[in-house]
Amino acid sequence: MSEPERRPVTHHVLVAAPLIVGSPSFGAPVLRVTNPGDLPNALAQHDKPVIIEVPSLRRKFQLLAYWQEARWWFIAWLVYKLLTTVIANQYHLDAEWRLKWKIERSFDGKITLTPTQK
């Protein structure tokens, strides 16, 4: 008896890979903050996005991003203003730093501060 002819089997595989359009990690120069003391110098420039890699600082900015997007208008605004003032005082930043930077969260938990066009 002869063996039946074997044909190659094709499997269709779909791979889901997160892709963030406009993410600063795709070739654009970025500044990475690995020490809390580097934050004032990183935000003093207004050309490159800043990635926060310090866990304690990242938590503060994640909390700030949460309150920035909250739906309770007055309470969220009040907490957001309070947090921005605390961060500005603690790290000796310009009082209006929040107007010059947009806070973005990525899927892997990193915080990126992107300069605004103002």
Closest Cα to residue 104, out of 77, 76, 65, 68? 65
Neighbour order of strands in the sheet with 101-105: 31-33, 50-52, 111-115, 101-105
For position 17, what pLDDT does the model report? 41
For position 6, what pLDDT does the model report? 61
Which sequence spans correspond to the domains of the chain?
Answer: 31-115
| Measured distance CA(87)–CA(91) in Å, rounded | 6
> Can you say whether residue 91 is alpha, beta or left, with left for phi > 0 and alpha for psi between -120 and 50 degrees?
alpha
Rounded average pLDDT per 10-residue block, the chain, 118 residues? 57 43 55 86 86 88 80 78 87 82 80 79
| Measured distance CA(54)–CA(108) in Å, rounded | 14
For residue range 8-41, list pLDDT tens digits in order: 544 444 444 443 444 444 556 888 888 888 888 8
Model pTM score: 0.52
